[in-house]
Amino acid sequence: MASSSGPQSATISLNGWVANAAINVSLGVVAVLVGVGLLELLVRTFDPQLLYRYPQGMFVNDAAIDYRLAPGFDGRMETPEYSTWIHIDQAGLRDSREVGPKAAGERRVLILGDSFVMGHGVEEKETFVRLVEDGLNARAGRPAFRLLNSGVPGYSTREELAYLRTRGLPLEPDAIVLAFFIGNDIVDNADHNRHYRVIDGYLTGGGPAPGILPVSVRSFLSRNSDLYHLLWPIQRRLRGLPIPTTADALIACGFEADASSWATTDSLLGQLAETARVHGLPLLIVVIPDLVQLEPDLWVQASQEREGLDPSRPDHKVMSIAAAHGLPALDLYQVLRTATERDRLYFPIDHHFTRAGNRIAADAIMPFIWEYLSKLL
């Protein structure tokens, strides 16, 4: 009589082992996914990160400036701190009104700057650009001034100069105001290898850097995962790779900038002044401080082991450079530091102006501009 053991029994045992292994692997994968999901939730709740938050399609590549806002774009910016509607007109400005031909008696003021000028954390009419325009026209007693909001997120003085030469001057401005942001303009100006491009509608820092994960996965995580942003600098340190200067608020603000870095900002402001002079246009400077300079707790945390630093030092340096080029300048540091609403002027995570921040800034900028530009009427 033949035995029931043998090849058939071995096959059944192998199949059972494979089935058990598959179940164990599946349970392991589920456990990992649940664990990662819980960690993501914890980070979002207790230590939310600043993610890439610009809507797809808001930027287009530009041969002269690397990139710019996409004409005709309409979309919503959604973050845990705000939800705003973004409309870009056909001239590439954040404005619900088209620029069109220049009306008789109209005085156009081109506002150069980055995301602080664009004001994506508030609605268009709540940006300090529109508030200043409203204030100037109220003082003039008629709609004499039109402020052109050419702010583009990520621009440094170098891109703003290129924008002025290629796209700003054709808009026929009668004056120019440069908003200089201490929070990154100094170090970005000094980074001559800094380039951006638009890939699949999203702004990226040049070509894809080497990484453990595929570029498409990293791009997705950078837009959606707080945990990824929290762990990203940690894994860079573990692998012995450099951390971007933006990871250190004081370096980003130029507190450790050397003479050559400041010389670049000096040169760029000089080129802006010369371009404005050649075209017979007044050029004014508004200096915007970073939140770390104004918030005591953030300042203490950022300045550890670097005692004796004056939070307003980079502002003073920019103001002195502007004076050397004969440029009128307004520093918002004292205005914002002494404002009664100081704790509500910047978004805690996004670090851009809130409605109150835009309003306080506008209240200071409007009379400054009026003093120099009322003669244009």
Given pLDDT bands bounded at 50, 70 and 90, which one contains residue 56?
very high
DSSP state of 88: B
Which residues share a beta bridge with 173? none
Q: What is the mean pLDDT of the chain?
A: 88
d(CA 352, CA 334): 17
What are 238-265's pLDDT values in tens digits? Answer: 766 665 655 688 888 999 889 999 999 9
State how far the Cα of 331 lies from the Cα of 285, in Å rounded to an integer. 8
Going by pLDDT thresholds of 50, 70 and 90, the confidence category of residue 163 is very high
Token pair in block for residue 279: 């075209």
Contact predicate 201/57, CB 8 Å? yes
Percent of the chain clearing pLDDT 70 (strictly above): 85
Residues 6+ apart with CB under 8 A from 118: 69, 94, 127, 149, 151, 152, 153
What per-residue confidence (pLDDT) applies to 1? Answer: 46
Q: Report pTM.
A: 0.87
Dist CA 298 CA 331 (whole Å): 20
DSSP letters along 276-336, please? HHHTT--EEEEEE--HHHH-HHHHHHHTTT-TT--TTHHHHHHHHHHHHTT--EEE-HHHH
Confidence check: pLDDT of 7 > 90: no
Structural domains for the chain: 59-214+243-376 (3.40.50.1110)
Q: If you average pLDDT over each of 16-20, 42-46, 261-265, which comes out highest?
A: 261-265
pLDDT over 90 at 363, yes or no = yes
**Residue, of 212 and 143, whose pLDDT is higher:** 143
Return contacts of 309-312, CB within 8 angstroms, 24+ apart: 309/250, 309/255
